[in-house]
A and B are shown apart, each in its own frame.
Chain A
Amino acid sequence: MIRTYVGLIIVLALAAVVISAVPGFSVPSELPYIGQNYAEQGVHDTGSINLVTAVVVAYRGLDTLGEVVVLFSASTAIVLILTLIPIGAHPTPPSSIVSFTAGVLPGAIVLFGIYIITHGHLSPGGGFPGGAVVASAFLLVMLGSNTIPGQSKMLASIESLAGLTFGLLGFWGMMTLGQFLNNLVLPAGSPGKVLSAGIIPLISLAIGAKVASELSGVFASYRKSGGAE
């Protein structure tokens, strides 16, 4: 009980520090300098009408490459731990609702995920959310079956190929325009079309394939980590 109150006091003290650091209690009405610049120049610079995707993939493409590396190392660590030290999970038989749903829905979920990936520069979406949606279809299939997934090199090869594609697209910009991950090695096209915005759709595809195969690999290694129990 004492622990609860001490924790509450510590957290409220931290909150008081944060609130006292707020500069002023006025509501802003103007974009800051960088945001204003992105809003004015973004479509012209990248050809992507979704400015968030323009920032993530084009302006800050190198950071996104680093983010993909972080995700890769985390998923590698998870798969490594679960392979070396089995946690003793054993799959329980799915209920009839789950097994029926797993037979019907995955096609539609994968299609929706591919739509989100390929329209990342037009509407909210892109490689990361779309890849997670595709991986959720994989998770549903796995929960709906009673078996343990076998050894498959397919996920690892898709993942490696997608990462390699991201890197090579970056080097393409370096070779032709002298800038790593330059977006305009392909023409910007007319903004608002699916085939526009330079290499943003290609990078979205690569990120989507990578995220989907990584998350699927994590799910599969949870299920496979049976152990001796």
Chain B
Amino acid sequence: MTAQSLFYWSLAVTALGLVIIGLWGVLTRKNILRIALAFTLADTGVNLILVWSGFLPNRTAPIIDSSSITSVVDPLPQALVLTSIVIGVAVAALFVVVGVLASRKSGSADIRRMKELRW
């Protein structure tokens, strides 16, 4: 394995690791604001995987000025991630608002005490 492919795959492992840590936090944490934090962590990891999918070693950002068209990375995943980040911010803000409301109602941020979540 050359140094270049080691770098390439370590980027993917880092992004996948962020998703794993985030999902694990969503599954195991009990404070609803920590669940929101873990959720945004997983969101960031997914965005990183998308950016990595358009990454090519030894190439630059997709801005055509002095660099020729053969030395840029794929612009399409980056455009998708721009959309994804904005939607992620909106969803996280809504998550926090609903979480704060639920914790005010039950008197605690602990999800085990939220009677509305049980059925």
Contact = CB atoms under 8 A, between A and B. Distances in A.
Interface residues of A, number: 59
A47 to B, nearest CB: 11
Describe A's contact surface by its main secondary structure: helix
Interface residues of B, number: 43
Contacts of A28: 56
B93 A218 contact: yes
Contacts of A78: 93-94, 97
B37 interface: no
Describe B's contact surface by its main secondary structure: helix
Interface string B4-42: 110011000000100110011001100000000000000
Contacts of B4: 27
B27 A11 contact: yes
B69 A29 contact: no
Contacts of B19: 15
B99 to A, nearest CB: 10
Interface of B: 4-5, 8-9, 16, 19-20, 23-24, 27-28, 54, 56-57, 61-65, 69-70, 72-76, 78-79, 82-83, 85-87, 89-91, 93-94, 97-98, 100-101, 104
Interface of A: 3-4, 7-8, 10-12, 14-15, 18-19, 25-32, 34-35, 38-40, 42-43, 49-52, 54-56, 60, 63-64, 67, 70-71, 74-75, 77-78, 81-82, 85, 87-88, 122-124, 126, 128, 132, 191-192, 211, 218, 222
